[in-house]
C-alpha cells in the first residue's frame, strides 16, 4: 500500500489539498470561528446604526461610500484582519501542539510542508470569507440608496482585494511566528498593535518595514476629515511594488514556516 | 526471520533528562510487548521508531528504510498515541474519515474503511456524536480505530488498553492477536504486566531509559515470582483470616493494620495466593470488603529487581 509518488509535485499538491479540505471543514465548526464571525459583524451593526440614524434624522450630508471607506481603513485594515490573521495564523501550528493532536498528522504519509500549507490556505480562506461577509453587508447597508451606481462596486471589489491580500500576507507571517515561538499570541499582539501601528507613520523608507504600508499604498489617499491622522505622512509605494512586496513577504514567511516545521522537533508535553 | 524494525545505539535526551539510552534492537513480525513503569522511556522509544522525534545518537530503520521524514512509510504504519487528545469538535466518523483522506483513498474506500474500523471498535452507533461527548473508553477505542483504519502492516500502540473496561480490553487483545495471525507486526507498550502477558510472550523491559531485560515472558515472570508481594485485605474477621494464612507455606508475613479491620499479607507466590484465596474465604465464612495490592505494579518489581 506504500505510496509510490511521494516526492512529486502532484503528490505534494494533493496532500495540501487534502489537509485544506479537512481543516476548512473543521475550521468552519470551530468555536473561535464563530466568535470571529461575531466580531467581523461589528461594522455591520455600526453601519445599521449609522443608516438608521440618517433615516430618522432625515440627514444624509455624509455619503455612504465615505463612511464605508473609513470603516475599511479604521476597523478592517488596522484591526480585524490583524486579529483574524493573528489567531488563525498562529493556530496553524500551536493548536496542534496545545491540543496534542500533531501526532495524528505527522504519522500520515504526507510531508510536513503540506500540513503547514494546507492548514494555512484553509484558515486564510476562512478569514477571507468572514471578512468579505462583513464588508459586503456593511457596503450594502451604507449604500442602500445608490445600489444601482455600479462605479461603487469597483470600490467594494478593490477594498475586498486589498483586505484579502492583507489577510494572505499577515496570516503567512503569523503562521511562521506560530511555528517558531511558544508564546506567539503575545508577540503577535505586540507586532500588530505596536510595530504595525507605529512604523507606518515613520517618514522615509522606515514605513516600508510595515506590511500595512503596502496595503495602504493600494488604497487611494483620502483627504481631510476626522480620520486624516490615519494617513499621516504616508509615502505610498507604487501599486506594482506594493503587490509584489506583499506576495514576496507571504512567500518568504511561508517558506520559513515550512522549513522550520519540517526541521524543528515538537515535544508534546504531558 | 528478518527484522521489521531495527534500532542501533538509539539514544535520546530532553535537555539534561535522559529519555532513552543506547538501545539496539531488532523487532520481528508478531507481537512485541514493551513493558516498563511510567516514565521508563516507552513512549520515547515509540516516538523514535515512528520518526516523530529524532534521536541524539543512533538510527532507526523500518523495513530497511530510515523512518525520519520518510512520509511514504506511514502508509504501512498505524500509530495509536498515548495521549487522550482529539479534534474535539469532530464527530467520531469525521475524525476517522478525515484522517483516512490523508492516505489518498477514494471516497468509497474512505467510507468503507471508516465503517469497518468503527464497527471493529464498536463505535458505529455513536459515530455521529461529537468526540467531546465520548466517554474515556470510547475515546480510547476511537484512537485505536484511527490506527487500524487504513489496514497497516505495522501497528505501534502506546498503552492501547488504558481506560478500557475489562470487556473492551479483552476485545482489543483478541483483535491484536488476530493481526498477529495475519503476519503483521505489532508493538504494544504497557506498564501493566498482565496486559502484555495476555498478548505476547516476547517482551522488552525498559527501565530508566535502558533495556533492562529482553526475551520470553516466562523469564520475566520467574523474576517477578521471586518478588515478595504485599496484599492488603479488609474483611469482617481479620484475626481469623490471619490464623488461616500462617499455616500456608507461601505466606511469609502477616501484619494487622492500625484500624484493626484488615491485614497485610506478604507472599512469595502471588499466583498461588490468589488462586487459593476464594476457598479460604468460603471455608472460614469471612466477608471481604476489599483486596488491594499496594506494590502490585511494575515500579515495585523493578525496584526489587535492581536491588533498591
Asked if B83 lies within 8 A of A29 by C-beta distance, the reply is no
Mean pLDDT of chain A: 88
Q: Of the segments A35-44, A145-154, B73-82, B261-270, which one has the largest average pLDDT value? A: B73-82
Q: Can you read off the three cell numbers belonging to residue A224?
A: 481631510
Domain boundaries, chain A: 13-263
> Cα(A230)–Cα(B197) distance, rounded to whole angstroms?
72
Asked if B102 lies within 8 A of A267 by C-beta distance, the reply is no
Give the per-residue pLDDT at A222: 56
Interface with A, mutate which of B52, B60, B102, B145 (most A CBs under 10 A): B102
Q: In this prediction, what percent of chain A has a pLDDT beyond 90?
A: 61
| A232 has pLDDT over 70 | no
| A240 has pLDDT over 90 | yes
- Of A62-66, A105-109, B51-55, B179-183, where does mean pLDDT reach its minimum? A62-66
Give the per-residue pLDDT at B83: 92
Instruction: List residues bridging with B25 in a β-sheet.
Output: B7
Other CB atoms within 10 A of residue A145 CB: 13
Question: Of A1, A29, A107, which has the smallest distance from its Cβ to B79's Cβ?
Answer: A107
Tell whether A22 lies on the interface with B, counting CB pairs under 8 A: yes
Give the per-residue pLDDT at A24: 96
> Cα(B19)–Cα(B11) distance, rounded to whole angstroms?
7
Tell whether A104 lies on the interface with B, counting CB pairs under 8 A: yes
CA angle A249, A253, A259 (to 5 degrees): 150
> Cα(A81)–Cα(B306) distance, rounded to whole angstroms?
60
What residues contact B162, with CB distance under 8 A and at least 6 apart?
B82, B140
Other CB atoms within 10 A of residue B280 CB: 14
Give the minimum alpha-carbon distance from A184 to chain B in angstroms, rounded to a whole number.
21
Residues 34-93 of A with CB under 8 A from B: none
- Compute CA distances A135 → A156, A160, B70, B186, B268, whole Å: 8, 8, 45, 55, 77
- Which chain A residues are closer than 8 Å to B150 by Cβ? 1
- Which chain B residues are closer than 8 Å to A25 by Cβ? 94
pLDDT < 70 stretches in chain B = 1, 217, 221-227, 294-308
Q: Is residue A131 within 8 Å of residue A84, measured between CB atoms?
A: yes
Query: Nearest-CA neighbor of A262 among A115, A121, A119?
Result: A115
Tell whether A21 lies on the interface with B, counting CB pairs under 8 A: yes
Task: Give the model's confidence band at A6: pLDDT under 50 very low, under 70 low, under 90 confident, else very high.
Answer: low
Asked if A103 lies within 8 A of B99 by C-beta distance, the reply is no
Give the per-residue pLDDT at B180: 94
Give the minimum alpha-carbon distance from B102 to chain A in angstroms, rounded to a whole number.
6
Give the minimum alpha-carbon distance from A28 to chain B in angstroms, rounded to a whole number.
10
3-state secondary structure of A112: helix
> Cα(B12)–Cα(B51) distance, rounded to whole angstroms?
12
Give the minimum alpha-carbon distance from B211 to chain A in angstroms, rounded to a whole number.
23
Nearest-by-CA chain B residue for A96? B87
> Cα(A127)–Cα(A120) distance, rounded to whole angstroms?
11
Higher pLDDT pick, B292 / A130: A130
Asked if A267 lies within 8 A of B53 by C-beta distance, the reply is yes
Burial A210-219 (b: 16+ CB within 10 A, else e): bbbbbbbbbb
| A61 has pLDDT over 80 | no
Query: Nearest-CA neighbor of B237 among B214, B259, B220, B260?
Result: B260
Other CB atoms within 10 A of residue B239 CB: 10
Asked if A3 lies within 8 A of B104 by C-beta distance, the reply is yes
> Cα(A42)–Cα(A34) distance, rounded to whole angstroms?
13
Section A1-9 average pLDDT? 61
Tell whether A270 lies on the interface with B, counting CB pairs under 8 A: yes
ipTM entry: 0.86
Higher pLDDT pick, A45 / B216: A45
Nearest-by-CA chain A residue for B106? A18
3-state secondary structure of A261: helix
Give the minimum alpha-carbon distance from B97 to chain A in angstroms, rounded to a whole number.
9
The domains located in chain B, with CATH, are 5-223 (3.40.50.300), 228-305 (3.30.70.100)
Give the per-residue pLDDT at B103: 94
- Which chain B residues are closer than 8 Å to A21 by Cβ? 101
Give the per-residue pLDDT at A226: 52
Give the minimum alpha-carbon distance from A107 to chain B in angstroms, rounded to a whole number.
6
Give the per-residue pLDDT at A164: 97
Query: Nearest-CA neighbor of B27 among B222, B214, B220, B199?
Result: B214
Amino acid at each position: 500500500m506504500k505510496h509510490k509518488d511521494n516526492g512529486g509535485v502532484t503528490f505534494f499538491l494533493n496532500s495540501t489539498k487534502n489537509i485544506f479540505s479537512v481543516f476548512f471543514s473543521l475550521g468552519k465548526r470551530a468555536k473561535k470561528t464563530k466568535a470571529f464571525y461575531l466580531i467581523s459583524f461589528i461594522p455591520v451593526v455600526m453601519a445599521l446604526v449609522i443608516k438608521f440614524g440618517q433615516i430618522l434624522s432625515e440627514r444624509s450630508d455624509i455619503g455612504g461610500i465615505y463612511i464605508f471607506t473609513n470603516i475599511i481603513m479604521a476597523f478592517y485594515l488596522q484591526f480585524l484582519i490583524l486579529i483574524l490573521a493573528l489567531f488563525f495564523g498562529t493556530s496553524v501550528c500551536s493548536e496542534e501542539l496545545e491540543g496534542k493532536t500533531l501526532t495524528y498528522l505527522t504519522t500520515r504519509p504526507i510531508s510536513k510542508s503540506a500540513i503547514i500549507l494546507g492548514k494555512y490556505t484553509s484558515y486564510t480562506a476562512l478569514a477571507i470569507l468572514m471578512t468579505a461577509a462583513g464588508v459586503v453587508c456593511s457596503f450594502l447597508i451604507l449604500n442602500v440608496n445608490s445600489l444601482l451606481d455600479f462605479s461603487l462596486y469597483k470600490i467594494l471589489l478593490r477594498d475586498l482585494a486589498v483586505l484579502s491580500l492583507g489577510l494572505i500576507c499577515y496570516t503567512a507571517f503569523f503562521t511562521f511566528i506560530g511555528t517558531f515561538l511558544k508564546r506567539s499570541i503575545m508577540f503577535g499582539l505586540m507586532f500588530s498593535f505596536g510595530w504595525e501601528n507605529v512604523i507606518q507613520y515613520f517618514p522615509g523608507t522606515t514605513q516600508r518595514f510595515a506590511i500595512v504600508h503596502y496595503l495602504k499604498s493600494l488604497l487611494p489617499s483620502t483627504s481631510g476629515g476626522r480620520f486624516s491622522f490615519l494617513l499621516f505622512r504616508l509615502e505610498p509605494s507604487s501599486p506594482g511594488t506594493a503587490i509584489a512586496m506583499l506576495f514576496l513577504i507571504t512567500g518568504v514567511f511561508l517558506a520559513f514556516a515550512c522549513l522550520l516545521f519540517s526541521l524543528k522537533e515538537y515535544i508534546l508535553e504531558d | 526471520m528478518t527484522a521489521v524494525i531495527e534500532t542501533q545505539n538509539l539514544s535520546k535526551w530532553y535537555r539534561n533528562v535522559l529519555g532513552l539510552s543506547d538501545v539496539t534492537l531488532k523487532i520481528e513480525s508478531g507481537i512485541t510487548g514493551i513493558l516498563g513503569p511510567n516514565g521508563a522511556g516507552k513512549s520515547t522509544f515509540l516516538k523514535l521508531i515512528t520518526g516523530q522525534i529524532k534521536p541524539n545518537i543512533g538510527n532507526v530503520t523500518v523495513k530497511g528504510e530510515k523512518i525520519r521524514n520518510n512520509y511514504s512509510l506511514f502508509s504501512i504504519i498505524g500509530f495509536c498515541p498515548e495521549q487522550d487528545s482529539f479534534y474535539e469538535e469532530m464527530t467520531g466518523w469525521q475524525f476517522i474519515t478525515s484522517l483516512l483522506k490523508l492516505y489518498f483513498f477514494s471516497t468509497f474506500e474512505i467510507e468503507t474503511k471508516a465503517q469497518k474500523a468503527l464497527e471493529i471498535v464498536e463505535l458505529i452507533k455513536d459515530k455521529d456524536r461529537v468526540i467531546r461527548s465520548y466517554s474515556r473508553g470510547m475515546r480510547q477505542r476511537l484512537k485505536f480505530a484511527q490506527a487500524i483504519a487504513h489496514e497497516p502492516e505495522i501497528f505501534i500502540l502506546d498503552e492501547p488498553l488504558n481506560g478500557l473496561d475489562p470487556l473492551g480490553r479483552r476485545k482489543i487483545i483478541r483483535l491484536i492477536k488476530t493481526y498477529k495471525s495475519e503476519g503483521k507486526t505489532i508493538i504494544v507498550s504497557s506498564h501493566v504486566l498482565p496486559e502484555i502477558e495476555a498478548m505476547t510472550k516476547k517482551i522488552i523491559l525498559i527501565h530508566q531509559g535502558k533495556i533492562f531485560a529482553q526475551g520470553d515472558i516466562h523469564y520475566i515472570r520467574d523474576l517477578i515470582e521471586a518478588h515478595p508481594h504485599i496484599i492488603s485485605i479488609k474483611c469482617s474477621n481479620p484475626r481469623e483470616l490471619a490464623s488461616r494464612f500462617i499455616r500456608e507455606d507461601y505466606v511469609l508475613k502477616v501484619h494487622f493494620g492500625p484500624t484493626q479491620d484488615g491485614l497485610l499479607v506478604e507472599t512469595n507466590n502471588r499466583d498461588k495466593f490468589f488462586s487459593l484465596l476464594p476457598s479460604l474465604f468460603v471455608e472460614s465464612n469471612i466477608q471481604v470488603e476489599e483486596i488491594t495490592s499496594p506494590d502490585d505494579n511494575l515500579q515495585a518489581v523493578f525496584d526489587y529487581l535492581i536491588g533498591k
